[in-house]
Amino acid sequence: MKIDIITIFPEFFDSFLNTSIIKRAIEENQVDIKAHQLRDFSKRKHHYIDDTPYGGGVGMLMQFPPFYEAIHHLKNEHTKVIMLSPQGKLFNQEYAKKYAKETHVILLCGHYEGIDARVENFIDDELSIGDYVLTGGEIPAMIFTDAVTRLLPGVIHEESSELDSLQNGWLKYPQYTKPESYKGYDVPDILRSGHHGNIEMWRKEQSVKRTMQKRPDLFSKIALTEEEKKIVHKIKTTLP
């Protein structure tokens, strides 16, 4: 997979692209990620990329021509162009899984008061990471890139990603490691029982319980299986 990021701060990504799983995925050619300087696509003197908005208003707006030139320089027939914006649809695990199946994605990072609206004629999606406003699209671009890259084949163990929170709608069950007891805080007995069937059922119940308690908004959207309906009933009858 190839991810091209168009930004006025490509250096913002230096540490991100040279750390941990992202670095390894790049080195092993599982993903090709590049941050491109938007100013390189400006034809104005001094490579300016912003100007005052038509109709008046505060602040500066990023111009359309540099983005137009960058998109057409980088895209191919299979490219998906995504603008990162607080006005976009909320990025979630389903979007991460969707875009992990693509071969090429271009991410547009806005700044200042945003981007000239004409760029919307050349995007395939507009995504937001939350209902708040950041100074630019660089952090959302990192979040998108990290969430998608870790789902690519071979980047992390497939079993690990399949058990992630939200991967199948549910939050992940609680996990523990050594020591089994510390200052009166103990690992649940069932996890030390060695009975894999019971452990698996406990984890499923805990996953459902956590989702019900921590993210009722997610729980209300899940189409329950018959087994899950029984777990929900069991949990509800034991809750205070």
Which ranges of 44-99 would DSSP assign to H, the alpha helix? 64-74, 93-99
Planar angle of CA 148, 93, 235, nearest 5 degrees: 145
d(Cα 188, Cα 125) in Å, to the nearest integer? 45
Residue numbers annotated as active site: 86, 113, 150, 164
Question: Residue 220 has what DSSP assignment?
Answer: T
Are 137 and 144 in contact by the 8 Å Cβ rule? The answer is no
d(Cα 123, Cα 105) in Å, to the nearest integer? 11
Question: Whose CA is closest to 49, among 73, 34, 35, 65?
Answer: 65
